[in-house]
A and B are shown apart, each in its own frame.
Chain A
Amino acid sequence: MENRSESLKTERNEAWRSDLRKNIKAKDRTSLIRAKMNEVDANVRIKSYVEVNSGLTVEQAQQEAARCIDCANPTCINGCPVEINIPKFVKRIEQGEFLEAARVLKETSTLPAVCGRVCPQEKQCEANCFYTQKLKKEPVAIGYLERFAADYERESGQMSVPETATSNNIKIGVIGSGPAGLTFAGEMAKKGYSITVFEALHEIGGVLKYGIPEFRLPNDIVDVEIDNLRKMGVQFETNFVVGKTVSFDDLKEEGYKAFFAGSGAGLPRFMGIPGENYIGIQSSNEYLTRINLMHAAEQDTDTPVVSGKNVMVIGGGNTAMDSVRTAKRLGADRAMIVYRRGMDEMPARKEEIHHAIEEGVEFITLANPIEYFADEKGRVNKVKIQKMELGEPDASGRRRPVAIEGSEYLIEVSTVVVSVGVSPNPLIPDSLPELTTTKWGTIEVNEDTLQSSINTVFAGGDIVRGGATVILAMGDGRRAAQSMDNFLKKNEQ
C-alpha cells in the first residue's frame, strides 16, 4: 500500500501532470457539468439489438476528463476492485493522449472495454470520487471515460498488447472463461506463466457471452479482448469440462502445477411454487443463453426460443432487467418486472432500470408470484400474484417483504422468466471431493489469498461469492494471480 501511494505521488508530480493541473483552475473544473452518455432513442433501439449507449465524443470525453481535479489523494482508486490508476488515465484523456490512457487501463484491467460498460461505477470508483464525497456533486464519469479510452484504442487499430515476462514454462489451468478466469489468465500471462483456459461451452467469454445481452455489451467487443489475451500467449480449449472431460489428476500428469477455478454460479434458482415447470416458464439463464449464446432470435439458427406477447420477469436484479429488455426486443407487447420489494430496493443498476422504463417495461413492485396456471397443452397462461408490504429490515439490511393475505389477483402471461438468483455449480466440488465448500456450495477460500483447501487450487468470482458482478470477479482473478504467483515462488525455494 505504502509503495502504491508513493508511486502515485511520483507520477502525479511528473511535469505533464502538473502542467495540466495548472492549465485550468480547480474552481473552473468543478463548475463544469457532468457529461451525458449518448444513447440510441428508446423507440428505435427496441427494434434491434443495437447497443443502447453509444459512448462519448472526443470533445465530451476531454471536457469530462477536465472535471477531474487530479486529487493528491485519489480515493477513487480505493473503490476499484482492480485498482485502475484512475487519475492517470483520466488526465491522459484530458491531454488528448487517448492511446496512452488505454495503456494505463490495461496495466491492471484485462477487460477495460467490458468494465467501461457493465461495471457499477456508481457504487465503486464514482462513489469514492471527491465530487461525490466532498462537493456533493455528480462524480467524474469515470466509467464513461474508461469506455471512451478502450473504444478509442480498439477503433484506432493500434491496440497495445501488455508486455509479458519471459516464459517460465510453468503450466497453469484456468477453469471457466468468464471475467474471473480471463483476468486471472491475463495477469498470469504477464508474469510469464503458460496458461490454458478450459471452457465448458463452445464459446469463450462465460457470462459476458451467454448472459449479458448484445444491447449492453456487444459480443464483438468481448472477442477483441479475448484476442488480446491470445496475443499474450494464453491458450483456450472449448468444449472442455474440467473434472469430467479430463480429471484433475490427469491434468496434473500433463504437467499442470496449479488451477484457478472461476466456473461461476451455474444453477438457476426456482421458487418452488405450484406450476413452475409449465411450458413457457424458464430461468433467465435459459432465456438469455438461447438469445445471446445460441442467437435463437436470428432466422438462420437452429435453436428455438419461446417468447410471447405478455412476458413476465420475476426479480429485480441486472439479469432480470436484461431479460425483460430482451423480451421487449423480441416483440412483447407487455414486458413486466414483478419484484417483491419496492423500486428503491431493486438491486439492478439505476441506469438499467432507467433504460427499461424508457423502453416501456412495466414495473409491478411489492408483488410476488405464488402460483402458475396453464392451458390444456401445459403452456403457462396466468400467474397468481400476491401483494406485499415492507416490514422490518432483514439480514441484508433491506426491509423484508411481507405478504398481504387476501390480496391475490391474476395476470395473463404467455412467457415467464424466473430471475431470482443462482446457486453455485456443483461440477468442480463434485470432481474434487477433498475440496472444502461452504453450506451454500460455494468454494471456501482464504479471503486474502483466494487459496482453497487444496493448496494448488485457487478460486474466485461467483463460484466463491455465490452471485456478484463482473468487476468483483475480475478483482478476484487479479488477486488470485498475485497470490498464486507468490505461493508458487515460495514453493520453488
Chain B
Amino acid sequence: MYKIIEKTFFSENVVKFEIEAPRIAKARRAGHFVIVKIGKKGERFPLTIAGADRVKGTITLVVQKVGVSSRKLTALNVGDHITDLVGPLGQATHIDNKGTVLACGGGVGVAPLLPIVEAYKKAGNRVVTVIAARNKDLIILEDQIREYSDKLVIMTDDGSYGQKGLITDGMEQIIKDEDIAEAMIIGPAVMMKFASLTTKKHNIPTLASLNTIMVDGTGMCGACRITVAGKTKFVCVDGPEFNAHDVDFDEMLLRLGGYKEIEKEAETDYLKQCE
C-alpha cells in the first residue's frame, strides 16, 4: 500500500499528490510513468511521474478529474493509501546537451514536463518553455517550470492569463527568435498533434510523450499500441516518448476514444452514487 503524504489542489479539477513509494522514488528518471489502481475493483491506468524526493521516499503525481478512476484517486486524502502502484515504467527521456531546447506543455501535461525541463536545464541546455491551458485556473506549476526555464511563455485560450492564443502561437513566437535544436511536447493528444505539425514545419526534431489507454503497462496487452513511422509500437515498453513527426496522431485520437461511451456512462453513474 502506498500512503498519500500530501495533497494540493491546483484547481477544482487538478490535484497534486505526494505518495510514499521509496523504491520508485529512487529508481525513477524523467519520462517514466507508473500504473495506478484504486480499490480491489479499480482499473489500472497510467500516470506520468511529475517528480520525486529520494530522501523522503515520495513521488509526485498530478491528476485531472476526467473519469471514474481519476475521480476515485482525487477523492483520496492525506493518510489514505493507493491500493496498487507499480513502476517506474517505460523508457526514460534521453537527455543531453543539445543547445537550445523548446519544451511545450498543455494542461496537466505540464506536470510530467517539469522533470524533463529540470533535466534539460541540469544537462546545460538553454531551455525555452511554453505552457498553455484553457484558462488561468488550469495553468499549473508555473513557478517550478520558471525555475528551470531561461524563458517562459504562457498561453491561455481565453486570454485570462499570459497571452491569448493556442500553444502553437506561443511556439511560433519562440521559434522566430531562437535557434531550437530539439523540442519536447506533452499534453492532450489534439494539442500534441498540432504542436508536432508546428515543429515539423520548421524542421525541428521533436519528441512527444504519449499517454494512451493501458492495462498492464509492461508490454503484455497491446492496448496502448500506436503507429509510428508505419509500424505498430507499444507506448508502455517502446515509449512513452516517440519522434513526434512519425506518430499517427489521428489514429491515436481514435483509439483514445475507444471506451468513451462506456466511460461517460460509468462516470455519470459514479457521480450519482457520490451525491
Stretch at the interface among B85-93, B130-138, B157-165, B187-195: B85-93
Cβ contacts under 8 Å, B24 to chain A? 245
Interface residues of B in 200-229 (CB under 8 A from A): 215-216, 218-223, 225-227
Give Cα A267–Cα B232 distance, bound, in whole angstroms: 12
Contact with A along B251-269 (1 / 0, CB 8 A): 1001101110011001000
Residues from chain A with a CB closer than 8 A to the CB of B259 are 304, 306
Q: Please, which residues of chain B bring their CB within 8 A of the CB of A241?
A: 86-87, 89, 218
A244-B88, A276-B232 known; A426+B237 contact, CB < 8 A: yes
A5 interface residue per 8 A CB criterion: no
Q: Taking the complex as formed, is B84 at the interface, i.e. its CB lies under 8 A from any CB of chain A?
A: yes
Contact of B69 among A240, A278, A279, A302 (CB under 8 A): A302
Report A300 CB to chain B, min CB distance, Å.
Answer: 6
Q: Is B234 an interface residue (CB 8 A)?
A: yes
Is A277 part of the binding interface, using a Cβ–Cβ cutoff of 8 Å? yes
A270: which of B41, B42, B222, B254 is its contact (CB, 8 Å)? B222
A239-B85 contact given A295-B41, A301-B41, A425-B219, CB 8 Å threshold: yes
Question: Could you tell me if B266 and A302 are in contact, using CB atoms closer than 8 angstroms?
Answer: yes
Judge whether B150 is part of the interface by a CB distance below 8 angstroms.
no
Q: What are the residues of chain B within 8 A of A244 when measuring CB–CB?
A: 27, 87-89
Bound: A177/B153 CA distance, A: 49
Known: A266-B218, A266-B220. A277 touches B227 (CB 8 A): yes
When distances are taken between beta carbons in the complex, the residues of chain A under 8 Å from B42 are 301-302
Q: Which residues of B contact A378 (CB under 8 A)?
A: 251, 254-255, 257-258
CB closest residue in chain A, given B85: A239
Is B172 positioned at the interface, with any CB of A under 8 Å from its CB? no
Contact A245-B222, Cβ < 8 Å, known A279-B258, A294-B43, A302-B68: no
Contact between chains at A200 and B216 (CB < 8 Å): yes
A113–B32 Cα gap in the complex (Å)? 40
Is the pair B219, A267 in contact by a Cβ cutoff of 8 Å?
Answer: yes
A246 within 8 Å of B by Cβ?
yes
- B68 and A377 form a contact (CB under 8 A): no
- A279 to B254, Cβ gap below 8 A? yes
Q: A272–B233 Cα gap in the complex (Å)?
A: 11
Chain A 271-300 interface 0/1 with B at a Cβ cutoff of 8 Å (1 = within): 010001111101101100110001100101
Chain A, Cβ-Cβ closest to B217:
A200
CB < 8 Å neighbour of A301 from B43, B88, B89, B232: B43
Q: Is B98 engaged at the interface, CB distance under 8 Å to the other chain?
A: no
Interface residue tally of chain A, by bracket? 35 or more
Contacts of B68 in A (CB 8 A): 302
Contact A425 B220 (CB under 8 A): yes
A238 contacts chain B at the CB level, 8 A cutoff: yes
Instruction: Count contacts on B: residues with CB < 8 A to the other chain.
Output: 42
Nearest chain A CB to B228 CB, angstrom units: 11
Which residue in chain B gives the minimum CB-CB distance to A202? B84
Q: CB-nearest residue of chain A relative to B67?
A: A302
Instruction: Establish whether residues B222 and A286, one from each chain, have CB atoms under 8 Å apart when the complex forms.
Output: yes
Q: What separation, in Å, do the CA atoms of A245 and B220 have in the docked complex? A: 17
Q: For the complex, is A303 an interface residue (Cβ under 8 Å from B)?
A: yes
Q: Which residues of A contact B237 (CB under 8 A)?
A: 267, 425-427
A268 at the interface (CB under 8 A from B): yes
Contact of A247 among B27, B41, B223 (CB under 8 A): B27
Contact yes or no, B219 A427, CB < 8 A: yes
In chain B, positions 1-59 with a C-beta closer than 8 Å to chain A are 23-24, 27, 37, 39, 41-44
> Would you call A268 and B232 a contact (CB within 8 A)?
no
**A289 touching B221, Cβ below 8 Å:** yes
For the complex, give the distance between the alpha carbons of A430 and B251 in Å.
29
CA distance A193 to B89 in the complex (A): 30
The answer to whether B263 and A304 touch across the interface, beta carbons within 8 angstroms, is yes
Q: Are B220 and A289 in contact (CB under 8 A)?
A: yes
Taking a contact as CB atoms closer than 8 A, the residue among B69, B86, B232 that contacts A202 in the complex is B86
- Known A245-B23, A246-B23, A270-B222; contact A277-B86, beta-carbon cutoff 8 A: no
* B86 near A245: Cβ-Cβ < 8 Å: yes
> Is A201 an interface residue when CB atoms closer than 8 A count as contact?
yes
Query: Given that A245-B27, A245-B88 are contacting pairs, would A268 and B258 also be in contact in the complex, using a CB cutoff of 8 Å?
Result: no
Contact B41–A289 (Cβ < 8 Å) = no
Determine which of B86, B223, B225 lies in contact with A200 in the assembled complex, contact meaning CB atoms within 8 Å. Answer: B86
| Identity of the chain B residue whose Cβ is nearest the Cβ of A265 in the assembled complex | B220
Q: Which residue of A lies closest to B252 (CB)?
A: A277
Counting chain B CB atoms within 10 Å of each CB, which of A245, A266, A306, A425 scores highest? A245
Roughly how many angstroms separate A10 CA and B225 CA in the complex, as a whole number? 58
Interface positions, chain B 62-89, Cβ under 8 Å from A, are 68-69, 72, 83-89
A254 to chain B, nearest CB (A): 11
Assembled-state Cα–Cα distance A240/B23 (Å): 10
B221 touching A283 by the CB < 8 A rule?
yes
**Residues in B whose Cβ lies below 8 Å from that of A286:** 215, 221-223
Complex CA distance for A241 and B86, rounded to whole angstroms: 8
Structural contact, A277 and B223, CB atoms closer than 8 A: no
**Chain A: which residue is nearest B84 at the CB level?**
A202
Min C-beta distance of B140 to chain A, whole Å: 26
Q: In the complex, what distance in Å separates the CA atom of A301 from the CA atom of B218?
A: 22
Partner of A427, one of B37, B83, B218: B218
> Assuming the A-B contacts A268-B220, A268-B222, A301-B41, are A306 and B258 also in contact, with contact meaning beta carbons closer than 8 angstroms in the complex?
yes
Q: Which of B149-206 contact A (CB under 8 A)?
A: none
Q: Are A302 and B222 in contact, with the CB atoms below 8 A?
A: no
| CB<8 Å pairs between A and B, sample of 29 | A202-B44, A202-B84, A210-B216, A240-B86, A244-B27, A244-B89, A245-B87, A246-B23, A246-B27, A267-B222, A267-B237, A268-B221, A272-B232, A277-B226, A285-B220, A289-B215, A290-B215, A294-B44, A298-B41, A301-B43, A303-B215, A304-B43, A304-B262, A306-B262, A377-B254, A378-B258, A425-B220, A427-B218, A427-B219
Chain A contacts to B: CB under 8 angstroms: 200-202, 210, 238-241, 244-247, 266-268, 270, 272, 276-280, 282-283, 285-286, 289-290, 294-295, 298, 300-304, 306, 377-378, 425-427
Known: A244-B27, A278-B254. 20 other contacts (CB 8 A): A202-B44, A239-B84, A239-B85, A245-B23, A246-B23, A266-B219, A267-B220, A267-B222, A277-B227, A282-B222, A285-B221, A289-B220, A289-B221, A294-B43, A295-B41, A301-B42, A302-B68, A302-B266, A425-B218, A425-B219
